[in-house]
């Protein structure tokens, strides 16, 4: 091509590209790269993806909230927030109202029904507090403006943008949830919706806000897929000898046996098989250190939320619900 014709062609391309680039300058840092990735992976329209992200707002309140999580508190301060007579009483009432569905779901996925209820109780007070933040605002804020965990939240934002309509409770720009971008009664992040959410009512749509069958089955499937052991213990109190070794909690599948712990100065307060694998968790209660053996099912709960305080709150609420569902007087929190 002659040089003059080549120059004309280049100028023509620039004339087309430059206005597009100027008109679509990034609203959020890193937005354009994310749009390119999602469009390449899914074939979705880049202009529509850009419009969605342009409409999301950075929220300072989200940045403030994530800097002070409840899980940073000691157990003596964390427990009263979640393990309350009101939450247990509400859980018992919820179980009685939906017992057939809850028991059927628990049986299908081989999990304990009281733990499905306890998760919903800790997460959202049985659907009453699901969060009022726009999910796009939350994930955009944390993906683009929160460096400590930007990698994690960018991945969640990408997953959200890639989810098919059948796995969304509504249009992307209308979804609401927690300050971290979790949705529904069970507070599922986009990656959990993608991997574990279930269309249990078979309407061709997963709704974790308004379909109780979908909500319960999704939590149950999460537990099942992470290795819940049917009939297995979750946690048991331990007694420490005065000369017991100081042991740090291991956020890993339990490997050390109770027999090995006894050699280190810790013994269960109830009769258990010596070869049972466990971790040791020490909590700071109002009356001093409190020791617990935690088992595989406890570890599964920490896959839902990594905090052992969260898992212990779920365990205590679940036990109280199981004891109280057939006993109207049993509404007090477990010790």
Among 123, 259, 262, 286, the active-site one is 123
Distance CA(215)–CA(16), nearest Å, equals 48
Rg (CA), the chain: 24
3-state SS of the chain is CCHHHHHHHHHHHHHHHHHHHHHCCCCCCCHHHHHHHHHHHHCCCHHHHHHHHHHCCCCHHHHHHHCCCHHHCCHHHHHHHHCCHHHHHHHHHHHHHCHHHHHHHHHHHCCCHHHHHHHHHHHHCCCCCCCCEEHHHHHHHHHHHCHHHHHHHHHHHHHHHHCCHHHCCCCHHHCEECCCCCECCCCECHHHHHHHCCCCCCCCCCCCCCCHHHHHHHHHHHHHHCCCCCCCCCEEEEEECCCCCCCCCCCCCCCCEHHHHHHCCEEECCCCCCCCECEEEEEEECCEEEEEEECHHHHHHHHHCCCHHHHHHHHHHHHHHHHHCCCCCCCCCCC
- How is residue 34 written in tokens? 């994310």
123 catalytically annotated: yes
Residue 267: strand pairing partners: 239
- How is residue 319 written in tokens? 């036990």
Write out the catalytic residue numbers.
Answer: 123
């Amino acid at each position: 091509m002659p040089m003059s014709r080549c120059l004309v062609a280049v100028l023509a391309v620039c004339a087309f590209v430059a206005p597009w680039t100027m008109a679509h300058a990034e609203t959020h840092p890193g937005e354009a790269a994310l749009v390119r990735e999602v469009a390449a992976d899914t074939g979705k329209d880049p202009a529509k993806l850009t419009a969605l992200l342009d409409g999301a707002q950075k929220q300072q309140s989200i940045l403030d909230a994530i800097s002070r999580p409840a899980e940073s508190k000691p157990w003596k301060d964390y427990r009263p927030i979640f393990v309350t007579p009101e939450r247990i009483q509400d859980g018992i009432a919820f179980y009685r109202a939906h017992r057939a569905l809850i028991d059927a779901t628990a049986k299908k996925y081989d999990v304990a029904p009281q733990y499905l209820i306890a998760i919903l109780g800790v997460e959202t007070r049985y659907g009453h507090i699901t969060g009022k933040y726009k999910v796009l605002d939350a994930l955009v804020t944390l993906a683009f403006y929160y460096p400590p965990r930007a990698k994690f939240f960018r991945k969640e934002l990408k997953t959200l943008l890639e989810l098919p309509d059948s796995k969304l409770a509504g249009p992307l720009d209308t979804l609401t949830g927690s300050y971290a971008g979790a949705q529904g009664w069970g507070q599922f992040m986009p990656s959990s919706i993608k991997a574990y959410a279930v269309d249990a009512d078979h309407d061709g749509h997963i709704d974790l806000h308004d379909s109780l069958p979908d909500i319960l089955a999704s939590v149950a499937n999460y537990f099942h897929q992470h290795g819940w052991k049917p009939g297995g213990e979750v946690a048991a109190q331990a007694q420490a000898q005065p000369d017991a070794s100081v042991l740090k909690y291991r956020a890993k599948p339990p490997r050390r046996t109770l027999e090995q712990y006894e050699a280190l100065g810790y013994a269960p307060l109830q009769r258990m098989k010596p070869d049972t694998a466990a971790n040791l968790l020490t909590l700071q209660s109002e009356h001093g250190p409190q020791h617990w053996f935690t088992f595989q099912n406890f570890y599964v709960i920490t896959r839902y939320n990594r905090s052992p305080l969260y898992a212990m709150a779920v365990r205590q609420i679940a036990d109280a619900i199981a004891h109280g569902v057939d006993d109207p007087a049993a509404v007090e929190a477990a010790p």
